[in-house]
Structure 1
Amino acid sequence: MYLTVTTEAKEKLAPFADFDLLLDYDDGVGPLSKTGSCTLDGGFRIIAVKPGTYAKDYSETLDSDLGPVRYKDYTDMFMDNNMKLQINPVNKLLKLSGNSSGELTASVAIVDATNN
């Protein structure tokens, strides 16, 4: 799998350049879940964490224009082989789309968990 990150999206993520990035499908599973239980309202978000942390929960890696991005091993079923993280020109929020499936998440939150 590969995640293309546009120049504008890279600028939005620039404050987290020294941290690991997680592509988190927030399904209520794991220590960083804001949902707290299984939900049908899952969506992707980017979580910045201290390097090397949460490796047990986010054990898989995909390549990206920003370097390796970790994710939960079973969430690849919600992803495409080729994905794109870009800025929505209308609302200026990050959006994640897949080459085959179209829009995966319309508003990808950036979560700063670097103090955890």
Structure 2
Amino acid sequence: MKMTFDNKILKKVASWTGADIVLDFDNTIGENGRPVEGCSIGTKFRLIAIDKGTVPEEFDVIIDSNFVPLHFKKYGEMFLKNEMTLSEDELKRAQLRENGEIIDSNVVLLDLRHK
């Protein structure tokens, strides 16, 4: 799998180069940057910067990107495609797409590192 970030998204996440980045779809990462118990009904993608070396073990797949490697869960691969893009739309929302088809129209970008 590969994800290509457009230039607008790359500018938004440029300061994340020293972080581990996870693509979360079921609220595994809590607002404090740590794993939470429970699950989410439905799929809501969030691209999250967390402290280096703190990726929860369930994020066991790496997605290549034109930015940094993204950590993802193997059991969630059914939601993704081989070639994806993350781009900003006219309303400044991050959209996850595959071959023109929208996978998620409003991906949340979160920096949950402890600075």
Partner of 1:58: 59
Report the 3-state secondary structure (helix = DSSP H, G, I; strand = E; otherwise coil) of the residue aligned with 2:106.
Answer: coil
Q: Distance in 1 between matches of 2:51 and 2:37?
A: 22
TM-score w.r.t. structure 1 length? 0.84
Partner of 1:112: 111
Q: Distance in 1 between matches of 2:55 and 2:17?
A: 17
Report the 3-state secondary structure (helix = DSSP H, G, I; strand = E; otherwise coil) of the residue aligned with 1:106.
Answer: strand
Q: Distance in 2 between matches of 1:58 and 1:64?
A: 16
Partner of 1:76: 77
Are residues 110 and 34 of structure 1, via their aligned partners in 2, closer, same or farther at CA, if it must alter by over 3 Å? farther
RMSD value, Cα: 2.2
Structure 1 residues 31-70: aligned runs within 5 Å: 31-32=29-30, 36-40=38-42, 42-70=43-71
TM-score w.r.t. structure 2 length? 0.84
Structure 2 gaps of 5+ residues are none
What percentage of aligned pairs have identical amino acids? 27
Structure 1 gaps of 5+ residues are none
Higher deviation after alignment, 75-84 or 54-63? 54-63
Q: Distance in 2 between matches of 1:46 and 1:75?
A: 14
Q: Distance in 1 between matches of 2:36 and 2:104?
A: 16
